[in-house]
Structure 1
Amino acid sequence: MDVGSNVVQSTQLKLDEQYEYKKMEQMAHGIRQRVLELTIEKNGCYLSQALSSAETVAVLYGGLMKLGESQAPFDAPAFGGIPGNSNKDYVTGAAYNGPTGPGYDRLLISPAHYAVVIYAALVESGRLSPDSLKEFNVDGSIVEQIGAEHSPGFELTTGSFGQAISQAGGIAHARKMRNEEGRVFLFMSDGELEEGQTWEGIQAAAHYKLDNLVVYVDVNGQQYDGWTKDVMNIEPINSRIEAFGGTCVTVDGHNIKELVKASQAPTEGKPLFVLCYTNSAQGLPELDYRKPNLHFVRFRDHEVEQFKAILEKMKKGVR
């Protein structure tokens, strides 16, 4: 008898019973559809980031994390000003993720330009109204194109790339010091692995044995200037993270079951990193010809009607 095989099968059966994979898949489809619609309506958007990370974000909001009900307005309010003596009631966008106390997981977003993906996920999970997306990138709205701490789903302003892992590590460390249940999830992009602070953050998280920190990385292999491997090669990511003291799992970032299962990997006192290898044109192969120039997508005049037709097919569920 293959005991190891039985253990794997038993684990998968438990996961199958616990998580609604179909719901997560539907959420991923909804995320792509909503961001494509915004790309058409707003004459440009961070569409490829939604195409690559839709499943990852759908898994996080679709039941993987222990989140309570949203504590924020269903319709996104207008920007309330910066915090200060005259604005002591200032709240962050974290309220859309529910309570942050013991027993609940926390979600931090590192790449602020993925904000539209988070907004779409909040809509798909019933935490934000679909009408709120009409305020996307409108002056005076908190539904900003580049997310900040007041934007729905955001708890912190992550500043330059690579800072959020240090912030997430600090929160995870504080939770361990208080013996507080609940994990800290961080969503990152692979381009951030070019930043020195990212590696300092990994090293610190390993030093403090932050096994309550789970980092999902969207490895789509592209950035503003082209392919990541050409601009600043970061591979092999897994062995580098392990060398800095983390536990690393590599998955197909479009496979819901793999994304869920990775979160259960034993960490033995180490932070967990899930490398989600993805396709920046997933679901829209019509964009393949533009690779790697997909950092920000604006359709050419002759393409608009083509992608409007694709959007209608997506709404009907035929793509």
Structure 2
Amino acid sequence: MDNQSQPNCPSWHDDVRRVAQGIRRRVLEHTVKNNGGYLSQACSSAEMLATLYLKVMNVGPVERPLVPPPFPGVPGPNNPNSFTGAIFNGPKAPHLDRFILSPAQYALVVYAALIELGRMDPEGLNQFNKDGSTVEMIGAEHSPGMEVMTGSLGQGLSQAAGIAMARKLRGETGRVWVFMSDGELQSGQNWEALQAMSHHKLDNMGIYVDVNKQQCDGPICSVMNMDPLAERLASFGARVIEVNGHDLDALAAPAELERDGRPLVVLADTDPCAGMPILQSRIPKLHYVRFVNEDERNRYQAFLADFCG
């Protein structure tokens, strides 16, 4: 009998909602404290990341919340101490899934998620963007929850496809899950990757795209329109599912589909102000919140007090 069948037993939905709310709260706290943060990304992706970790992905456990170790230096043959942030996603094994964060500016949101999931010690967030820390503002391969350096936007999917190809050749059953932002699909490298994924029938790949329709220069439709996005992705051989990015069942359902030889792409339509209506006054400048004056910061401080209450 699963926990959804037992009376008075919380379902996975309750866990996801708790984690999603915690993600928003922690990123808001960080933003108020540090006079800056990626708030809209937390609002749009909170349910998606929580659902991925708690329902979709089969990642290994960690024994206890981990404190991020200091920066060990760049990877290379002469640096035996280098490591990746994949340790926060548990051990690697042929049957376990792998997670790739493609838009590295979502790092703060992922850190908040890892804390809420009991994978990272809350102390880790105090190291954010400090010299010698692995808790970087723009995540790198050593940052908590990250496995590869995704470099400029648009490089994460290609690396994930390479990992998926290697896993397929080895006969591993675990899948590779990629979290992307919609603006990344303006980069041509992703479309080359999609062609390769389709050609090699990498149906061990699942891609969740945060379609919040915003990027640093404004609305995506005004910077470089990509519509009809679903049709374009399908024409490159992807199996495309469009969902409401704040509907938990809709987010989880595509991962349950039987694999059919195509890479799965879930386009999650999201609201970059979800859970934080105070952000609506900043539209369309949502990419990064830095308060223009102390009065604005005080308004967010008051909103945080109500949010936590």
> Normalising by the residue count of structure 2, what TM-score does the alignment of the two structures yield?
0.94
The yes-or-no answer on 1:52 pairing with 2:54 is no
**CA–CA distance in 2 between the matches of 1:248 and 1:26?**
28
Counterpart for residue 308 of structure 1: 301
**Residue aligned with 1:263, SS:** helix
Instruction: Measure, in 1, the Cα distance between the counterparts of 2:95 and 2:3.
Output: 20
Q: 1:107 deviation in Å?
A: 0.2
Distance (Å, rounded) in 1 between the aligned partners of 2:266 and 2:65: 32
Per the alignment, residue 8 of structure 1 pairs with none
Q: Which amino acid aligns with 1:282?
A: A
The residue that corresponds to 1:70 in the other structure is 62
Match of 1:288 in 2: 280
Partner of 1:125: 117
Q: Is the 8 A contact 2:44 2:212 kept in 1?
A: yes
Asked if 1:253 is matched to 2:241, the reply is no
Contact 2:178–2:207 (CA under 8 A) maintained in structure 1? yes
Give the residue type in structure 2 aligned to 1:107. Answer: F
- Does the Cα contact within 8 Å between 1:19 and 1:63 map onto a contact in 2? no
Task: Note if contact 1:214-1:272 (Cα within 8 Å) is conserved in structure 2.
Answer: yes
- Residue 236 of structure 2 is matched in structure 1 by 244
Mapped contact 1:56–1:253 kept (Cα < 8 A): yes
SS at 2:53 equivalent: helix
Q: Secondary structure at the match of 1:107?
A: strand
| Compared CA separation, residues 112 and 49, structure 1 to 2 (3 A) | same
- Once the two structures are superposed, residues 145-181 of structure 1 have per-residue CA deviations (whole angstroms, 9 ceiling, x without a partner) of 0000000000000111111111111111111111101
Q: Which has the larger displacement, 298-307 or 170-179?
A: 298-307
Distance verdict in 2 for CA 1:91–1:228, change over 3 Å: same
Note the aligned Cα RMSD (angstroms): 1.9
The 5 Å alignment of 1:17-36 reads: 20-36=12-28
Deviates more, 1:189-198 or 1:295-304: 295-304
Distance 1:141 1:28 in 2: 26
SS at match of 2:266: strand
> TM-score when scaled to structure 1?
0.91
**Quick one: distance in 2 between partners of 1:195 and 1:212?**
23
Q: Distance in 1 between matches of 2:248 and 2:185?
A: 24
| Unpaired stretches in structure 2, ≥5 consecutive residues | none
Which residue identity does 2:172 align to in structure 1? E
Q: Which moved more, 1:253-262 or 1:25-34?
A: 253-262
Tell me the amino acid that sits aligned with residue 20 of structure 1. Answer: W
Distance of aligned partners of 1:71 and 1:208 in 2 relative to their CA distance in 1, 3 Å threshold: farther
Shift of 1:16: 5.9
- Shift in CA distance, 16/250, structure 1 to aligned 2, threshold 3 Å: farther
Identity fraction in percent: 49
Please state whether the residue corresponding to 1:33 is helix, strand or coil.
Answer: helix
Structure 2 counterpart of 1:25, which letter?
A: R
Rounded Cα–Cα distance in structure 1 between residues aligned with 2:189 and 2:63? 32
Where does structure 1 lack aligned partners over 5 or more consecutive residues? 1-13
| Mapping 1:187-226, distance limit 5 Å | 187-226=179-218
8 Å contact kept, 1:15–1:261: no
Matched, 1:182 2:151: no
Shift of 1:21: 1.0
The answer to whether the 8 A contact 2:35-2:297 is kept is no
Aligned to 1:42: 34
* Change beyond 3 A, Cα 1:34–1:264: same
Q: Does 1:155 align with 2:128?
A: no
The yes-or-no answer on 1:173 pairing with 2:158 is no
Question: How much does 1:15 deviate?
Answer: 11
